[in-house]
A = this chain, B = another copy of it.
Amino acid sequence: MDVLLDFGARFLHQLQSPTLAFLLGGILIAALGSRLTIPDAIYKFIVFMLLMKVGLKGGMAIGEADIGAMLLPALIAVVMGCLIVIIGRYTLALLPGIRTEDGIATAGLFGAVSGSTLAAGTVVLESEGIPYEPWAVALYPFMDIPALVLAIVLASVYLKKKDGAGEKVAIWPIVKESLQGSALSALLLGIALGLFTNPDRVFESFYEPLFRGLLSVLMLIMGIEAYARLNELRRVAHWFAVYAAIAPLMNGLIAFGLGTIAHYLVGFSPGGVVLLAVIAGSSSDISGPPTLRAGIPTANPSSYIGSSTSVGTPVAIALGIPLYIGLAQAVFGT
């Protein structure tokens, strides 16, 4: 009972954290009809800055890391990416009024990863003083790419069965398309630069100090965007909204469980477990949509983009992050 109360208090405390408050503030002012917008050029630049920072830090850490310790978490990330798509695909198929292609695309987007949510997770962990393996951010592609590949393969199999229209899916183009996306490119370039050059000075004078502030602006943009996309979501089956509200937390909790196993088996840190849950709970907002649009052209983008942007992401950030941190504090006593 004490554990539960303790968890409740920590959860409420997190809701007041500025990172989440900017997200809620964005939703609020958009709902009140504010004309405040942050230009798209700024949005794109902020996403680049955050992923470059996360990548540089990860890259500098991988150089010193024990590669062996990464294996199990990376495997869990791959498993989670596939699991989310499979669970999502068959759950959504059971719900009334949902076209199967739309369901598969939505499950794929929720299996894919959001760099912004990941960045928010690292800031909240740092605010709470919970350490994590810096290479944990490199788990991103291990979950993102399998999820997108699997969703596109499932859609193709389904379409072929249905009317023979689906063609044989080549996997490499999907992987390549995913790696070439702006978010993964920035993250992987950052990791490479962190690994092979000495970016300490530019990291410490620029990427690191601006991180927290740029993230606050990004949260605001995402809040405004979430509200703006609600209309899109209203035009599709309501079950998408239900799925989008539940899936992030469910996926995050499964990943938290698997991460906890890795904690006891190979010493994966509590902060790393939280990040794994944050990654699993997130749904892609930048790179995923164009990949899915190209890979499952018959799916309706309003269904999956609307679900992810207007419900999935706010839930993943504003409820998910405090939930996993509260859990970690309760379970691991950090």
Contact = CB atoms under 8 A, between A and B. Distances in A.
A112 to B, nearest CB: 16
Nearest to A192: B25
A168 interface: no
Query: What is the copy number of this chain in the assembly?
Result: 3
B197 A205 contact: no
A182 to B, nearest CB: 4
Contact of A42 (B36, B41, B196, B207): B41
A48 B45 CA distance: 16
Q: Main SS of the interface on chain A?
A: helix
A206 interface: yes
Interface stretch (A14-22, A228-236, A240-248, A323-331): A14-22
B216 A212 contact: no
Contacts of A161: none
B34 A45 contact: no
Contacts of A199: 18, 21, 216
A35 interface: yes
A70 interface: no
Interface in A161-184: 176, 180-182
Given A182-B35, A185-B34, A193 B48 contact: no
Given A38-B45, A42-B45, A189 B18 contact: no
Contacts of A29: 185, 189
A202 B211 CA distance: 9
A198 interface: yes
Interface string A195-219: 0111101100111011011101100
A127 B33 contact: no
A36 to B, nearest CB: 4
A110 B3 CA distance: 59
A39 interface: yes
Nearest to A214: B206
Interface string A264-304: 00000000000000000000000000000000000000000
27 contacts: A16-B196, A18-B193, A18-B198, A18-B202, A21-B196, A21-B197, A21-B199, A25-B189, A29-B185, A32-B180, A33-B176, A33-B180, A34-B185, A34-B189, A36-B186, A37-B44, A39-B41, A39-B45, A41-B42, A42-B42, A42-B44, A201-B212, A202-B216, A205-B212, A205-B213, A206-B212, A207-B213
